Amino acid sequence: MDSYLSLTPMNPSTFSRRKFVRGATFSVIGFPYVSLLTSAACAAEDEARKLGFALVGLGGLSTGQLAPALQKTKYCRLAAIVTGTPSKIPVWKDRYKISDKNVYNYDTMEQMADNPDIDVVYVVTPNALHAEHTLKAAKAGKHVLCEKPMDVSVKKCQQMIDALKKADRMLAIGYRCQFDPNHLECRRLATEKVFGELKVIEGGFSRPITANEWRVKKELAGGGPLMDVGIYALQTCRFTSAREPVEVTARFGPVTEPDKFKEVEQSVEWEMTFPGGLKTKCRTNYERGGDNAFTVTAEHGTFGLNPAYNYNFARGTRSDGVSINLPSVNQFAAEMDDFAQCIMNKKTSKVSGEEGLRDVTIMMAIYESARSGKPVKLA
Ligand code: NAD
């Protein structure tokens, strides 16, 4: 049986044991020592009920965001690591108290099948390796949370969906902004038509990169800034409007650093047409000082976020003077807790594999249009 099933809140034996331990805490009020022991037992039991996550790829995102976020989650814990760099192992073992049996490399990942401590594999490797690592996790019988973009081709994304389905496990994609209250507020303003019918969504996301990153290699990245950060602007258009584009037109920008951008684009702009007359205009590049914002124009006003895509922080304004300023959350912790709850309650994630596949399909159409100079229809 899966370890997560035995940890489900519905599991009667777990539930009655927890009730008993908590009851014992009440009956000994006035006996601080016993009370301390029982609350320690409760804390240990709460910890054991969390789903065990294995981080695959210990680079910038895992180190700077995901491992720290896993210390803040309610339903998840960092149980294991997968790395191809042996020098990282002692540092991670020491910092996060990871036992030897929970350390893997990319070739031994499938042995996770014998490790009930791991429920979810979080794939955080370069884009074009996502399918390979997801397929290994599925073979080991684990649920998979995979970073964006899902992978670099429609075919590989479909293979990921099929593999998880065959393994009877769940798949979700790391769209952190879908868990941010300020992004959710923009979706509410759009879908409840607070400013009337949507007319235009305009925005972008950009960042600088160095010349020696995997991000400039087509084989590992699949593409340039579109696959890396432009995907956020694309997601905003789909998520905020809750609609799907029917046509896309795109063009590549000029290459001002030819030594760096030999294999992937330096910049791209694209327009999408949505049902109901909504048009969107997006851009992305790998340059310093680019966009990190979006504006929605509706019949009777505008709203949007700026900054929109910082880790764990977004703020915005509305044309009626009201701020969009809901308290920030740790987006990664919220995303992982949501997936854990989906697994526990057997509910499909809102950031499912199908959602990831949709973005990759549209990005392929954007590239096709930029190459051909013609609009591309989306089914
Ligand atoms: P990174 O370069 O910092 O880390 C990549 C990791 O993959 C490294 O530990 C590296 O050793 C490992 N790796 C394994 N095989 C490799 C190979 N053949 N070549 C190069 N590295 C290899 O990258 P990152 O910024 O952590 O990005 C990892 C993934 O996370 C990407 O898919 C990226 O799009 C995504 N990401 C998402 C967010 C977000 O906000 N959701 C932010 C950053 C990155």
| pLDDT tens digits for range 167-179 | 999 999 999 999 9
Instruction: Summarize pLDDT for 260-280 with one digit per residue, the tens.
Output: 999 999 999 999 999 999 999
Please, which pLDDT band fits residue 49 given cuts at 50, 70 and 90? confident
Say whether pLDDT at 363 is over 50: yes
Say whether pLDDT at 212 is over 50: yes
Separation between Cα atoms, residue 123 and residue 62, nearest integer Å: 10
Whole-number mean pLDDT of the chain? 91
Does ligand 1 lie within 6 Å of residue 60's CB atom?
yes
Ligand 1: residue whose CA is nearest its atom 43? 61
**Percent of all residues in the chain with a pLDDT value above 70, rounded to a whole number:** 88
Residues 316-340, mean pLDDT to the nearest whole number = 98
Does ligand 1 lie within 6 Å of residue 215's CB atom?
no
Please, which pLDDT band fits residue 40 given cuts at 50, 70 and 90? low
Say whether pLDDT at 215 is over 50: yes
Strands, sheet with 51-56, edge to edge from the N-terminal-most edge strand: 103-104, 76-82, 51-56, 120-123, 143-146, 171-173
Does ligand 1 lie within 6 Å of residue 256's CB atom?
no
- Residue 80 CB contacts under 8 Å (≥ 6 apart), including other chains: 52, 53, 54, 55, 98, 102, 103, 104, 112, 115, 117, 118
Say whether pLDDT at 336 is over 80: yes
Does ligand 1 lie within 6 Å of residue 220's CB atom?
yes
Task: Say how many Å lie between the CA of residue 151 and the centre of ligand 1.
Answer: 12
Does ligand 1 lie within 6 Å of residue 158's CB atom?
no
Does ligand 1 lie within 6 Å of residue 127's CB atom?
yes
Separation between Cα atoms, residue 70 and residue 90, nearest integer Å: 19
The pLDDT assigned to 355 comes to 98
Of 231 and 41, more confident = 231
Say whether pLDDT at 193 is over 80: yes
3 state DSSP class of 126: coil
Structure tokens at 194: 């607070």
Say whether pLDDT at 153 is over 60: yes
Please, which pLDDT band fits residue 289 given cuts at 50, 70 and 90? confident
Separation between Cα atoms, residue 50 and residue 42, nearest integer Å: 13
State residue 346 phi and psi, 5-degree precision.
50, 50
Task: Say how many Å lie between the CA of residue 315 and the centre of ligand 1.
Answer: 27
Q: How many Cβ atoms are within 10 Å of 95's Cβ, its own excluded?
A: 11
Ligand 1: residue of 89, 127, 147 to mutate (most ligand atoms within 8 A of CB) is 147
The pLDDT assigned to 41 comes to 65
- Residue 350 CB contacts under 8 Å (≥ 6 apart), including other chains: 178, 338
The pLDDT assigned to 67 comes to 98
| Cα atoms found within 13 Å of the Cα of residue 83, Cβ hemisphere only | 19
In the 8-state DSSP scheme, what is residue 179?
A: G
Structure tokens at 298: 């509706």
Task: Say how many Å lie between the CA of residue 61 and the centre of ligand 1.
Answer: 7
Instruction: Summarize pLDDT for 121-149 with one digit per residue, the tens.
Output: 999 999 999 999 999 999 999 999 999 99
Please, which pLDDT band fits residue 12 given cuts at 50, 70 and 90? very low
Say whether pLDDT at 378 is over 80: yes
Residues 197-219, mean pLDDT to the nearest whole number = 97
Q: Which ligand 1 atom lies nearest to the CA of residue 60?
A: 3
- Residue 88 CB contacts under 8 Å (≥ 6 apart), including other chains: 58, 81
Closest CA to 237 of 195, 192, 183: 183
Say whether pLDDT at 21 is over 60: no
Task: Say how many Å lie between the CA of residue 194 and the centre of ligand 1.
Answer: 39
Does ligand 1 lie within 6 Å of residue 21's CB atom?
no
The pLDDT assigned to 379 comes to 84
The pLDDT assigned to 38 comes to 65
Residues facing 323 on adjacent strands: 317
**232 catalytic residue (yes or no):** yes
* Listed range (43-47, 188-192, 338-342) with the worst mean pLDDT: 43-47
**311 catalytic residue (yes or no):** no
Task: Say how many Å lie between the CA of residue 123 and the centre of ligand 1.
Answer: 9
Report cis status (omega within 30 of 0) of the bond before 181.
no
The pLDDT assigned to 42 comes to 60
Task: Say how many Å lie between the CA of residue 309 and the centre of ligand 1.
Answer: 18
Structure tokens at 364: 């392929």
Separation between Cα atoms, residue 282 and residue 284, nearest integer Å: 7
The pLDDT assigned to 132 comes to 98
3 state DSSP class of 269: strand
Please pick, among 96, 148, 156, 367, the residue that the annotation labels catalytic. 148
Say whether pLDDT at 299 is over 70: yes
Residues facing 332 on adjacent strands: none
Which pTM does this prediction carry?
A: 0.91
- Residue 240 CB contacts under 8 Å (≥ 6 apart), including other chains: 183, 186, 187, 190, 201, 294, 296
Q: Determine the straight-line distance between the first and last CA of the chain, rounded to whole angstroms.
A: 40
Please pick, among 232, 286, 309, 367, the residue that the annotation labels catalytic. 232
